[in-house]
Chain A
């Protein structure tokens, strides 16, 4: 009835509009949210382009308003309102927050849609739902928050790498991380922080490339899951897309926000190692001479290398909106100490986001820019240390009677690596500066037509200095007495240019909008790696300085371009590629104060050029159609396969609008989507025969062998895109005005033409050649999420959120078999734990079957001393997130549980360190080794003995907060105190420290999952937070 009246009213006013010369006047007023004035609210006269926005006190003034017109008030996050003028000159409006989940704006590729109109599987997590506490990088904000997204932090190190899998693992060899788009700039898939090998300790994992972003600057993260949503990103969409939007000043009147977090972290778990007396007893019991190994002390080595760590974080921002725009400027500082000594991550960040409109709001200029410095300090922890272990391995196996003195007198030296001396005599620091900018200009050419130009620039410079002092004793290789140092530098530049045109048109019963665009992106990456040996001053800072000065002296003395150089007792050599290949032996400059050093450079540029378009068409707001197409050209592919085409189509049906659907449903939407996306994450130029000088380094004898030139690839001109096609069926539902709402999605993803590094048919220029493997990886799964406001009263609010996803992974139609999952440790050289083969999931364990010990304490292998498939995989089949939030008056409590199920972890740490043989060789072991029936001389080969179920449920975080009541006259706008606990408990049967782990154990170029080896332990953190606004 009401509607009918309104319609009649509108109809009448329309007739008046067209039928009569309109009376016009100026209308003024104030817009509030009921309490506070709202700046930046859009106001226009319905059916015209005449409009304005409220200023910062919420006031507006709009001229030429027909007395019988209708004003439309709109603002993001609030319900749109239409108010008939009815001859008034003052119209105040109160905007109501839009409670309905379905009218949320969802950020999709190259634009936004109302969630109601979305056709793809897209989940947006906004700031209020982020995980709280100490968060080093953005992915951790949304861990477990949405179905179908598996976020695994690879270790507990501050800023550790994070593996993100959206709907399973699709690629065997290409990258599996999703594409990250920060404020419209797609990031490059490569690592920007310098890192790499730790002379003598193996390699360490790269840190998370997103560490440069201050999580406090993020407004929302949008996860594009199905192909109909990601296909607009074409060749880079196969692993899903995560769109990060930073906070703007929109909707805030001049406001200062300050927040701080102060945290305390302690190791969440520790190995149950033997204490001094227990160890001596156990050692004696196994037949050792106790007196020979008793060094007299009682040292808890885990305590020696770990600590209670403090974290502080400060964020200050100022935001403001004014009539023609808004801006926000922020500064952040955080210092995350790691729970392992010598490890720390410090970040200083600044951000400025500006939005300004010109020419009657026709031109919209946006600038989003951030700058950051991240300082990482790392302890000598690696993925693949050998039999003496890295810092953690050495601590686990160290004799508990050995004094903790890092620098014993030579006669007290036992030949074991002393963990504390690894701490004392190594230094590893990386500084990474990053600048990211996105500037865009959008112009409304006509009422329905707008164009947008976008320029993105992302530059990172990283410098790492590593040194291991020659004063260290007890390690292999020629470090003692000589010392080794390394400098690694990387400079990455990512430049984007984009141009898009938008056209939309409303018809009587349908809507149409179209987007076409062109995008060009260039990725430049250059760097230098310098290694030095033979130092005068064994102070590590001095070593890095000496190496830096020496390299500068050499680099400054070299005329012209070069790839590499080396200096040793035979003098200096320079290897050049351009203008032609040459090895020069110029005289060495003065100022070199290391015995030998070698430097090598790299410099690659990749380009990506794309044309794309999207059509949305909706009929009666019930039937929604989307089609996209992207053509991508990439310098990663050559010959005939430079361009790939990635189409998608989707249909959504708002069934709740249909008469035959009972009114019980406030939302019922069916979504169907299909699309094709690609993957191009392979190394630089694999299709041309290329030559460069081989690797260079200082040998253990202090000599730098002069490299020659050789082919770096076995060129394959037929290389082409890896292609993933995905079908998605989804259902969104809601009851009781969406107080209870949820989604169910079913998908089937098939990846073909797998980019794969396979063994060359010899003889060949390289052992491996990149091919498109004629095999499939299939991921199929179900995702379900539910959100229920159990109570929604003024004083009491209780929300329960739940998401669960199931994914099944399988490699199909593959004839070969490739070993992967390298296992390291004493007596485990060349061991591996996984095999890639058809008919098995990726990362399937391939092990000896363990049948206990015989009467002599030797391992029994019931199926023989051979490795076979175990039927178990490292990939979780089920991911779970449970959240709840209770608000009572000024108090709020939110907790969040996350879990992963259906996967197995190979405990390489136990395999390498916690066996009877390890005890027998004078190492400490865990308590369960004592009396386990194993003989001292038993060989602990790779077997199911060390394979364990990884299922876990973690209380990821719990926050208790209190919002103070603020007096209206107060200079304060809000004040909040909160207490957050992270990783408060972990329920798991896994016997190691933590089953959520992924040590990089790649072998034969195949990445791995699920193997744990001397992984940086995870912390339990308690944080006190203060948020205040002025």
Chain B
């Protein structure tokens, strides 16, 4: 009996022990495991789903006032984020952007580097032959990769590249600007035949022939800057013109009604957009007491523009209320809200969700919010201290600002929803101006640069120019494209990015490139810090 029991205990124990021994291999419960062997790469799990993911990543990366948007806009002469007492100090990130005193540890410099490089790797995986993407998928992935790589080249001047089968122990090789330029050019060229001709409409959120032509035009118009060749080559300018003409051939063109372009409605100017909420393009400048029913918390009272930039627009100097002779693109600050039954003007026929008899948010101005702000009922808006909310042109400096210093800029409008998901990335007016500039820089087209600029100005209800200088061209781009992430690049192309402007001293040309983030240098010894940092 005893011995039997003993035996059975041992047997049981051994059995349990042996049967419980495991090879510790995980099963796919939570995720798909790629069947990689060693350093090999077996292709992405599903190409179309991976592509969706990349469009989503792009959207997520732009759904903020930080990173790429901040690097391109807040570093320029059209925007600044003043520190207002306890507000917007944010560890100095905004001040250093404005003053061009950023360093390799700047958070946005790092985030932008990471975001775009990560996109490049994910897209390279789709592009790799192992993934078996169909021709259109391949073309879309190449366009998207070119888009992200374009920003890396533009901002940092160096583009690292990792092959899909290279693991974390491999230090990616680094392309200098000219090599990266060719790489992007090749991606776009290869993509072109298999990209769809979408034309204006809701599908403009996907890669298309028109979007690829647009990016090619951007490459060529900046090529002499990227390659450091001094001045633009005629054949490059003709490339710009050809690509812009190709966009027009896809059905895109200029359209009147400037602020209507920045709504979710279909228009003929939007070449490429993303369904990112535009909240971070609106609320960051609006005051706390500028609210809509779906955002009763109001704005974040930060972003402003510079007086000099505001002065580029036509109109009376002292105010921007209706009747100040302003051109359309300067917008206006209404004296009161608009009734939903009104049949003309921007707010005509808008939503009144809270039923107060006014279109939601119709007391908030368009374009440049300067001077006294008003409530829906026509009363003066007050600041938190009970003083009239009067946005001033003048500011004491980057520090020491009050709640009301600085003119606010609003291109998208909260009356279309506090967080409407429609952000424009490529717009035909930009292509049109690129074509004009290409002609100005020696390209040949069916119209002169001045004619093209005036064509746009006429549409925007601005008086025509009599002649066209470089400065006029830069200014015109500023008036048309403010807040659309092109200002830094334009200033560099016109040689003005490192010059002095309000609250900023002139800097060396090295600031035309951002530093390689310090953690990137640590993680990849093939990278060399840009000169000047």
- Residues of A at the B interface (CB closer than 8 Å) are 287-289, 291-293, 359, 362-363, 387-388, 413, 415, 417, 443, 445-446, 451, 453, 473-478, 480-482, 497, 499, 501, 518, 520, 526, 575, 577-578, 580-583, 602-607, 609, 633-635, 642, 684-685, 688-694, 699-701, 703, 705-712, 714-718, 758-767, 769, 771, 815-816, 818, 823, 826-832, 858, 865, 915-918, 920-922, 935-942
List 22 contacting pairs A-B, 8 Å CB cutoff, sorted by A. A417-B297, A445-B10, A501-B13, A520-B20, A581-B32, A581-B45, A602-B30, A603-B30, A700-B418, A701-B419, A718-B169, A760-B168, A760-B523, A762-B118, A762-B520, A816-B522, A827-B86, A827-B87, A830-B93, A858-B399, A938-B85, A940-B89
Task: Say how far A1005's CB is from chain B's closest CB, in angstroms.
Answer: 13
Contact of B85 among A446, A482, A917 (CB under 8 A): A917
Task: Say how far B112's CB is from chain A's closest CB, in angstroms.
Answer: 11
Inter-subunit contact B59/A705 (CB<8 Å) = yes
Q: How far is it, in angstroms, between the C-alpha of A609 and the C-alpha of B300 when the chains are bound?
A: 54
Contact of A709 among B46, B83, B172 (CB under 8 A): B46
Q: How far is it, in angstroms, between the C-alpha of A936 and the C-alpha of B403 when the chains are bound?
A: 11
Task: Say how far B151's CB is from chain A's closest CB, in angstroms.
Answer: 13
Contacts beyond the supplied A581-B32, A694-B57, A762-B121: 19 A-B pairs with Cβ under 8 Å: A362-B2, A387-B87, A415-B298, A451-B10, A481-B294, A499-B16, A609-B20, A700-B277, A709-B32, A709-B45, A762-B160, A816-B519, A826-B86, A828-B91, A829-B91, A921-B403, A922-B384, A937-B401, A939-B85
Asked if B162 is an interface residue, CB under 8 A from chain A, the answer is yes
Inter-subunit contact A581/B86 (CB<8 Å) = no
Asked if B201 is an interface residue, CB under 8 A from chain A, the answer is no
Q: Give every chain B residue within 8 A of A602 (Cβ-Cβ).
A: 30
Q: How far is it, in angstroms, between the C-alpha of A520 and the C-alpha of B23 when the chains are bound?
A: 11
Which chain A residue lies CB-closest to B20?
A: A520
Inter-subunit contact A603/B29 (CB<8 Å) = yes
Q: How far is it, in angstroms, between the C-alpha of A960 and the C-alpha of B48 when the chains are bound?
A: 71
Most buried by A among B6, B26, B124: B26
Inter-subunit contact A708/B51 (CB<8 Å) = yes
Which chain B residue lies CB-closest to A762?
A: B117
Inter-subunit contact B24/A609 (CB<8 Å) = yes
- Name the 6 nearest CB pairs between A and B, nearest first: A292-B386, A708-B52, A708-B53, A917-B85, A762-B117, A917-B86
**Binary contact readout B16-35 vs A (1 if CB under 8 angstroms, 0 otherwise):** 11001110111111111110
Which chain A residue lies CB-closest to B107?
A: A830
The majority secondary structure among interface residues of chain A is: loop
Inter-subunit contact A415/B291 (CB<8 Å) = yes
Inter-subunit contact A690/B31 (CB<8 Å) = yes
Which chain A residue lies CB-closest to B526?
A: A761
Q: Which of B258-290 contact A (CB under 8 A)?
A: 275, 277, 279, 283, 288-289
Q: Which of B376-428 contact A (CB under 8 A)?
A: 382, 384-387, 399-403, 417-421
Inter-subunit contact A474/B296 (CB<8 Å) = yes
Which chain A residue lies CB-closest to B399?
A: A939
Inter-subunit contact B24/A706 (CB<8 Å) = no
Inter-subunit contact A707/B168 (CB<8 Å) = no
**Binary contact readout B363-387 vs A (1 if CB under 8 angstroms, 0 otherwise):** 0000000000000000000101111
Asked if B135 is an interface residue, CB under 8 A from chain A, the answer is no
With A706-B52, A761-B172, A937-B402 given, is the CB distance from A580 to B275 under 8 Å? no
Inter-subunit contact B297/A763 (CB<8 Å) = no
Inter-subunit contact B46/A580 (CB<8 Å) = yes
Contact of B296 among A443, A480, A577, A685 (CB under 8 A): A480
Contact of B49 among A293, A578, A583, A815 (CB under 8 A): A583
Inter-subunit contact A604/B29 (CB<8 Å) = yes
Inter-subunit contact A942/B22 (CB<8 Å) = no
Inter-subunit contact B31/A815 (CB<8 Å) = no
Q: Give every chain A residue within 8 A of B122 (Cβ-Cβ).
A: 710-711, 765
Contact of A761 among B17, B29, B168, B382 (CB under 8 A): B168
Q: Give every chain B residue within 8 A of A762 (Cβ-Cβ).
A: 113-114, 117-118, 121, 160, 162, 172, 520, 523-524
Inter-subunit contact B17/A499 (CB<8 Å) = yes
Asked if B36 is an interface residue, CB under 8 A from chain A, the answer is yes
The number of residues on chain B lying at the interface, defined by a beta carbon within 8 Å of a beta carbon of chain A, is 105
Asked if B171 is an interface residue, CB under 8 A from chain A, the answer is yes
Q: Give every chain A residue within 8 A of B463 (Cβ-Cβ).
A: none
Contact of B89 among A526, A581, A941 (CB under 8 A): A941
Q: Give every chain B residue within 8 A of A699 (Cβ-Cβ).
A: 277, 419, 421
Task: Say how far B286's CB is from chain A's closest CB, in angstroms.
Answer: 12
Q: How far is it, in angstroms, between the C-alpha of A706 and the C-alpha of B62 when the chains are bound?
A: 17
Task: Say how far A984's CB is from chain B's closest CB, in angstroms.
Answer: 36
- Residues of B at the A interface (CB closer than 8 Å) are 2, 5-6, 9-10, 12-13, 16-17, 20-22, 24-34, 36, 44-46, 48-57, 59, 66, 83-93, 107, 113-114, 117-118, 120-122, 124-125, 160-162, 167-172, 275, 277, 279, 283, 288-289, 291, 293-298, 300, 353-354, 382, 384-387, 399-403, 417-421, 519-520, 522-524
Which chain B residue lies CB-closest to A287?
A: B385
Q: How far is it, in angstroms, between the C-alpha of A941 and the C-alpha of B17 when the chains are bound?
A: 60
Inter-subunit contact B9/A480 (CB<8 Å) = no
For the A-B complex, the count of residue pairs with Cβ-Cβ distances under 8 Å equals: 326
Q: Give every chain A residue within 8 A of B386 (Cβ-Cβ).
A: 288-289, 291-293
Q: How far is it, in angstroms, between the C-alpha of A764 and the C-alpha of B289 when the chains are bound?
A: 43
Q: Give every chain A residue within 8 A of B25 (Cβ-Cβ).
A: 635
Most buried by A among B117, B161, B297, B354: B297
With A761-B171, A940-B86 given, is the CB distance from A476 to B297 under 8 Å? yes
Task: Say how far B259's CB is from chain A's closest CB, in angstroms.
Answer: 19
Which chain A residue lies CB-closest to B66?
A: A830
Which chain A residue lies CB-closest to B103?
A: A866
Q: Give every chain A residue within 8 A of B53 (Cβ-Cβ).
A: 693-694, 707-710
Inter-subunit contact B294/A478 (CB<8 Å) = yes
Inter-subunit contact A941/B92 (CB<8 Å) = yes
Q: How far is it, in angstroms, between the C-alpha of A362 and the C-alpha of B2 when the chains are bound?
A: 10
Q: How far is it, in angstroms, between the C-alpha of A699 and the C-alpha of B84 when the chains are bound?
A: 30
Q: Give every chain A residue within 8 A of B28 (Cβ-Cβ).
A: 577-578
Contact of B31 among A609, A692, A937 (CB under 8 A): A692
Q: How far is it, in angstroms, between the C-alpha of A518 and the C-alpha of B327 when the chains are bound?
A: 82
Contact of A763 among B83, B121, B300 (CB under 8 A): B121
Task: Say how far B27's CB is from chain A's closest CB, in angstroms.
Answer: 7
Q: Give every chain A residue within 8 A of B400 (Cβ-Cβ).
A: 858, 935, 937-938
With A688-B34, A937-B401 given, is the CB distance from A707 to B46 under 8 Å? no
Q: Give every chain A residue within 8 A of B384 (Cβ-Cβ).
A: 293, 921-922
With A602-B30, A761-B523 given, is the CB distance from A415 to B297 under 8 Å? yes
Contact of B5 among A289, A443, A694 (CB under 8 A): A443
Q: Give every chain B residue within 8 A of A475 (Cβ-Cβ).
A: 296-297
Q: Give every chain B residue within 8 A of A765 (Cβ-Cβ).
A: 118, 121-122, 125
Task: Say how far A885's CB is from chain B's closest CB, in angstroms.
Answer: 46
Q: How far is it, in angstroms, between the C-alpha of A708 and the C-alpha of B52 when the chains are bound?
A: 5
Contact of B117 among A291, A634, A700, A763 (CB under 8 A): A763
Q: Give every chain B residue within 8 A of A633 (Cβ-Cβ).
A: 24
Q: How far is it, in angstroms, between the C-alpha of A503 and the C-alpha of B251 when the chains are bound?
A: 87
Inter-subunit contact A941/B26 (CB<8 Å) = no
With A691-B45, A922-B385, A939-B83 given, is the CB distance from A828 to B90 under 8 Å? yes
Q: How far is it, in angstroms, between the C-alpha of A478 and the C-alpha of B360 when the chains are bound?
A: 14
Inter-subunit contact A921/B86 (CB<8 Å) = yes
Inter-subunit contact A443/B6 (CB<8 Å) = yes
Inter-subunit contact B90/A829 (CB<8 Å) = yes
Q: How far is it, in angstroms, between the C-alpha of A703 and the C-alpha of B264 when the chains are bound?
A: 14
Q: Give every chain B residue within 8 A of A830 (Cβ-Cβ).
A: 66, 90-91, 93, 107
Q: How far is it, in angstroms, between the C-alpha of A742 and the C-alpha of B420 when the chains are bound?
A: 69
Inter-subunit contact A635/B26 (CB<8 Å) = yes
Q: How far is it, in angstroms, between the C-alpha of A234 and the C-alpha of B297 when the chains are bound?
A: 53
Inter-subunit contact B121/A764 (CB<8 Å) = yes
Task: Say how far B278's CB is from chain A's closest CB, in angstroms.
Answer: 9
Q: Give every chain A residue within 8 A of B17 (Cβ-Cβ).
A: 499, 518
Most buried by A among B9, B83, B295: B9
With A688-B34, A763-B118 given, is the CB distance from A921 to B50 under 8 Å? no
